[in-house]
Amino acid sequence: MCFHPQAYSWNSTYYVQAFKNMDIANTSKFLWAIVAAISFSGLLSLQSLYFLMWKWRSTKSHIVELEAALAIALKQRAAERTGRIRAQRELRQALLGGKNLKEGNVVAYPMTPIGTVRSCFSTRNGTPRQPMLVSLARASLVLSSKGVPAESLDGLLKYSHCWLLYVFHENTDLPSLWKQPAHKDFKAKVRVPRLEGGKLGVFATRTPHRPCPIGLTVAKVEGIKGATLLLSGADLVDGTPVLDIKPYLPYCDSVPESSAPSWVQAGGEDDVIAMASVSFTENFATELAKCWDVMGKNSLYSSQVEIQSLVEQVLSRDIRSLNQRQRPHNGKVVYHLILEGINVSYSLEQEGVVVVEGAALDCSFKHICSRDTDPRSWRHLFHKS
């Protein structure tokens, strides 16, 4: 073969010349080879065409299948949504007692406490009227095991204080509130002891007897152990249901230029009367030791000495009711106060001089006398052993 330019151009003369030079047998062999080659390649391309068509068809049917599945899923999602919306509407309707959802008709919203407070204040008597008055007051809030995970408290330890929204669960008028939640019988004005029987609008006071018996308080965040939040300074009664916890933000929650009437200010008329002194008898120490033997492992405090300090702090203010204070009494009157299930008895030697005389365990507060360690107790939380 020579690489003559003619070999690359279409030159029929060149091919005719080649045929002429072959004998007949060779020529037919050659032709057959060409025919075979052509048909083989044709077969091959037909096959690949068929394969491509099959492939395309199966892809297409696959796409159709996917589209159908997507349509079904979307339909289901839409059905779920309408179902959910209908359920929500039905729930609201049920809460409204079948009334139409219009403004003014709303009767109640579903709010379940997130947890319950275990507090050193076993009863309302002795529980401070305001937070932060008794710094030794301790409380532990255990989140409800149903639906409020311990992780909900993550990050709260970074704040020194928190707000607590709670229910005044010991209000004696709660049963009537259940029957009549629409505020029909609610009294707009309340008597304020500090105003010598003078009345004020309920929203100008912090009375527990409010149209919505919700309390607000601030407490010091002491620690977090699992689903338990440890607090101090709170003015909460044992067993208080808590609705919400929010961090206290000093930059916006404390208002430096704020003002209040004189009767609510510290040292003002509303400030609880400070006692001159609090002392303890030897009998008290002996009886407290007996109590501690039984309830120490369930206490919010780590020693009997700490409990005595708490008693001192609580009684350093006059916690007696106005009635108790004004009642004329001849001779010695013994008063009682229950802290951590311990019934503490005290009397006034003279005006403002408190003598703490005795201590007796009141096992109607079951957790305090329980043989099992209370999971909310100090020992359980800090000295797991």
Ligand X SMILES: *[C@@H]1O[C@H](CO)[C@@H](O)[C@H](O)[C@H]1NC(C)=O
Name the site residues for ligand X (rule: CB under 6 A).
123, 336, 338, 343, 360, 362
Minimum distance from residue 345 beta carbon to ligand X (Å): 6
Nearer to ligand X, 270 or 340 (CB): 340
Q: Which is nearer to ligand X, 173 or 362 (CB)?
A: 362
In the bound state with ligand X, the residue whose beta carbon lies nearer, of 120 and 338, is: 338
CB of 321 to ligand X, least distance (A): 13
C-beta of 302: minimal distance to ligand X in Å?
25
Q: Which residue is nearest to ligand X (CB)?
A: 343
Nearer to ligand X among residue 300 and residue 337 (C-beta) = 337
Residue closer to ligand X (CB basis): 269 or 357: 357
Cβ 222 to ligand X shortest distance, Å: 27
CB of 297 to ligand X, least distance (A): 23
Task: Work out how close the CB of 287 gets to ligand X at its nearest, in angstroms, rounded to a whole number.
Answer: 11
Nearest to ligand X of 300, 338 (CB atom): 338
| Closer residue to ligand X (CB): 146 or 325 | 325
Q: How far is the CB of 342 from ligand X (least distance, A)?
A: 10
Convert the chain into a string of H (helix), E (strand) and C (coil). Answer: CCCCHHHHCCCHHHHHHHHHCCCHHHHHHHHHHHHHHHHHHHHHHHHHHHHHHHHHHHHHHHHHHHHHHHHHHHHHHHHHHHHHHHHHHHHHHHHCCCCCCCCCCCCCCCCCCCEEEEECECCCCCCCCCCCCCCCCEEEEEECCCCCCHHHHCCHHHCCEEEEEEECCCCCCHHHHHHCCCCCCCCCEEECHHHCCCEEEHHHCCCCCCCCCEEEEEEEEEEEECCEEEEECCCCECCCEEEEEEECCHHHHCCCCCCCCHHHCCCCCCCCCECCEEEECHHHHHHHHHHHHHHHHHCCCCCHHHHHHHHHHHHCECCCCHHHHHCCCCCCCEEEEEECCEEEEEEEEECCEEEEEEEEECCCCHHHHCCCCCCCCHHHHHCCC
